[in-house]
Amino acid sequence: MSPIKVGVNGAKGRMGIISIAAVKNAEDMELAFGLDAGDDLGGGIDAFKPQVVVDFTTPSAVFANTMAIIDHGVRPVIGTTGLTEKELGAVRRRLEEKKIGGIVAPNFSLGALLMMKMASIGAEHFDSCEIIEQHHARKVDAPSGTARLTAKIISEGRPKGELSSGSAASRGGVHEGIRIHSIRLPGRMAHQEVIFGGEGETLTIRHDSISRESFVPGIVQAIRRVLEIEGLEVGLKV
């Protein structure tokens, strides 16, 4: 079989560098291009004809990039956070029109995926829950895409929500009925705690990404997976 031709957009960023290495080290993949800010994404697609484009750029650019990838008939794997529900709807419709698949995943770590799956189980048994997420100081979005997706999963899995009392100024933001506390500090990378509270007990589910190499298996899995599906998948499946 011919190798999967993969383009990487955001190639000079930390995750772009990791993605390029992941593609080069995968026996069934071939790097079609690595582009970055200021490069012509559509022109690169036309010139090198990838089957999949992985995007790790910025929240302000991700929607236009995603639509450009799809409009060229190429399957997107989007690791950039920042797509709104309205934009996800537009992406979903465009993928359906083109009859191709696309994946939007705020986190490619196996441990993070399992953390969210475990949180969905906890949501069936606890009404009260809060999320604490910590990232490096240069992360531009807060809360993180992983925290937002976790809150959505928890909200969908329980019959009602309960917000703890206290000063709104010090209690974090509310997303999908769940309070999320975002910490941005040097020395951090990617960490999240999901804390459930019940009468006389708490349940804490914690995940820590120690290095960006933890994302490599998920990136490779997503590239292979996106060739098998039609329509939009949000989050990787475990």
Give me the phi and psi of 198, to 5 degrees please.
Answer: -135, 180
Helix (H) or strand (E) holding 17: helix 14-25
By annotation, the residues acting in catalysis are 135, 139
pLDDT digit string, tens, across residues 168-202: 778 889 988 899 999 999 999 999 999 999 999 99
Q: Report which residue type is found at 96.
A: E
Whole-number Å distance between alpha carbons of 126 and 201: 10
The pLDDT of residue 163 is 54
pLDDT digit string, tens, across residues 132-172: 999 999 888 899 999 999 999 999 876 555 555 666 778 88
pLDDT digit string, tens, across residues 81-135: 889 999 999 999 999 999 999 999 989 999 999 999 999 999 999 989 999 999 9
User: What mean pLDDT comes out for the span 222-232?
Assistant: 97
Whole-number Å distance between alpha carbons of 114 and 65: 29
pLDDT digit string, tens, across residues 34-85: 999 999 999 999 999 999 999 999 999 999 999 999 999 999 999 998 899 9
Whole-number Å distance between alpha carbons of 97 and 149: 26
Structural domains of the chain sorted by starting position, each given as residue range(s) with its CATH number in brackets = 4-107+213-234 (3.40.50.720), 110-210 (3.30.360.10)
Residue 176 token pair:
């999908």
